[in-house]
């Protein structure tokens, strides 16, 4: 299967537009999924301190035999590390668990505004970028207000923001802000979570039948054509392959419009003002 196309991040990293999400896989299961994905053609793997599977992800990378420099590894750290020195400690712990020498993208997992240290966390990422320890600055679950404050106080603009995003929660305000500020939008839970609601949606199912594709492929193709990076999660080899096989067809403008109309606003979206770890 051909490799996914890439989009350039602000600091020059070429980011594949489809990657493997790894939550809630652990241990040998995580290693097997990562190995399978890399052998299938994935070149982006997403993990996090909070997933407790960085060791398995690293093992899968080694088991695959794919050279480290060909794979974009992204991980995220928790709120206890929200300081310049803390971010460096989080980085060191992640590379040790992963068994790698550098990270491609390190992200602030949640802003945790009640703690009010996310601006310092981004300063810490900037220091890592400057000395080559990471290749891009990432944040996750940040609102436009959080991003604006970072830019106003530090002059820094992250390379990407990983947010909960699917046709049911298309996050138009976030995407507009990102586009205007040169931030790539990355979608977690891109097919709407673990339930089958989006995959069995009548609109998605009808478009899948029109194209001779699966509903999941239709949804992921919507992400690709909308200019997003998506990290669907699966430990099933068949679904891992299915999720990457979205580059041999296109949605028509009319089909895109029908999917766009499924947006339900912020219903079911985790609120970063009150949730985080």
Helix H or strand E encompassing 230: strand 229-230
Pairwise CA distance, residues 245 & 41, whole Å: 10
User: Which one of 51, 118, 168, 177 is the catalytic residue?
Assistant: 51
Pairwise CA distance, residues 151 & 217, whole Å: 36
* 177 belongs to the catalytic site: no
Contacts for 64 with CB less than 8 Å, ≥ 6 apart: 34, 35, 38, 39
Phi then psi dihedrals of residue 8, to 5 deg: -80, 135
Other CB atoms within a 10 A radius of the CB of residue 131 amount to 8
* Three-state secondary structure call for residue 166: strand
Contact 244, 236 (CB under 8 A): no
Pairwise CA distance, residues 115 & 99, whole Å: 31
Pick from 206, 153, 162: which is nearest to 183 by CA? 162
* Three-state secondary structure call for residue 134: strand
Catalytic residues: 51
């Amino acid at each position: 299967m051909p490799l996914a196309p890439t989009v350039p991040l602000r600091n020059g990293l070429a980011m594949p537009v489809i990657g493997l999400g790894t939550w809630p896989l652990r241990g040998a299961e995580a290693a097997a999924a990562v190995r399978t994905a890399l052998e299938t053609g994935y070149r982006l793997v997403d993990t996090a301190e909070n997933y407790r599977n960085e060791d398995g992800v690293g093992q899968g990378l080694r088991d695959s035999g794919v050279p480290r420099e060909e794979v974009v590894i992204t991980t995220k750290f928790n709120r206890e590390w929200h300081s310049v020195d803390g971010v460096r400690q989080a980085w060191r712990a992640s590379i040790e668990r992963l068994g790698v020498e550098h990270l491609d993208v390190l992200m602030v997992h949640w802003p945790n505004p009640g703690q009010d240290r996310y601006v310092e966390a981004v300063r810490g990422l900037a220091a890592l970028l400057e000395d080559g320890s990471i290749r891009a600055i990432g944040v996750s679950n940040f609102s436009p207000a959080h991003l604006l404050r970072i830019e106003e106080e530090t002059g820094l603009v992250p390379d990407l923001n990983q947010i909960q995003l699917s046709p049911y929660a298309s996050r138009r305000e976030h995407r507009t802000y990102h586009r205007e500020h040169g931030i790539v939008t990355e979608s977690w839970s891109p097919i709407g979570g673990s339930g089958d609601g989006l995959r069995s949606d009548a609109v998605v199912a009808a478009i899948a039948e029109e194209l001779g594709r699966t509903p999941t492929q239709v949804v992921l193709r919507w992400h690709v054509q909308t200019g997003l990076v998506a990290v669907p999660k699966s430990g099933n080899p068949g679904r891992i392959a299915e999720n990457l096989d979205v580059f041999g067809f296109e949605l028509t403008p009319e089909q895109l419009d029908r999917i766009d109309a499924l947006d339900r606003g912020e219903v079911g979206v985790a609120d970063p003002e009150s949730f985080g770890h």
